[in-house]
Amino acid sequence: MAFNGRSLLIAGSRVLVAAVLAIAGCQTARVADPLTRSMGGSDPDQQMDFLHTLADRPIASNDEAFHGLVLFMQGNDPAADYPARVAWLRARNMLPAGFAESADHAVERGTLAVALVRALSIKGGLTMSVLGPTQRYAVRELQYLDIYPASSPNQTFKGSEFLSILSKAEEYQKNHGTQAAPAVPS
């Protein structure tokens, strides 16, 4: 088979497009302006505005998810900003080991799964009881309990998906007589 200049150009273009797509596919999704900057308070009206607006977001950020998680756990968010939320969650051992993502980074399912498993005091199976709630096994346990849809730890959430999971976590609490992990004074 002979190659002419046109077929080499087409083949080269396909390789270039594949390389660009591979590189772009590996980039982290970011949220340009997390809602917590304008709706991050604990006032009931701000909470409602936050939740209603988050439902329409195509991606939920770490800051938005952590604010929602703290609200879920204790009804208000004492943290003034993202570093304070991270510190609040770290003090309660709610974040995966080595967590170091920025506020505008799209929240990953594994990160939230670890926090929810700990907040709901879910013990899990043998692997989770030996290794603790790693992102992979926390996601799998939440899938088993029908709190999470089938997914991987690295997937992100739409705002509506995140809120649906918090709703299922609340239902799990009610059905299993559990409460979110007690708040530790900060």
Question: What is the residue-level pLDDT of the chain in tens, covering all 186 positions?
Answer: 555 655 555 555 565 545 444 444 555 677 777 777 777 777 788 888 888 989 999 999 999 999 999 999 999 999 989 999 999 999 999 998 789 999 999 999 999 999 999 999 998 888 888 888 899 999 999 999 999 999 999 999 999 999 999 999 999 999 987 655 444 443
pLDDT, residue 140, reads 94
Which residue, 108, 183, 160, is CA-closest to 138? 108
Q: Is 19 helix (H, G, I), strand (E, B) or coil?
A: helix
* Whole-structure pTM value: 0.78
Angle, vertex CA 186, rays to CA 77 and CA 163, nearest 5: 30
pLDDT, residue 180, reads 52
In order, the DSSP letters of 78-127 are --SSHHHHHHHHHHTT-SPTT----TTBBPBHHHHHHHHHHHTT---SHH
- CB contact at 8 A, 174 and 181: no
Structure tokens at 17: 């497009």
Task: Give the end-to-end CA distance of the chain in Å, rounded to a whole number.
Answer: 71
pLDDT, residue 47, reads 85
Give the start-to-end residue ranges of the domains of the chain: 32-176
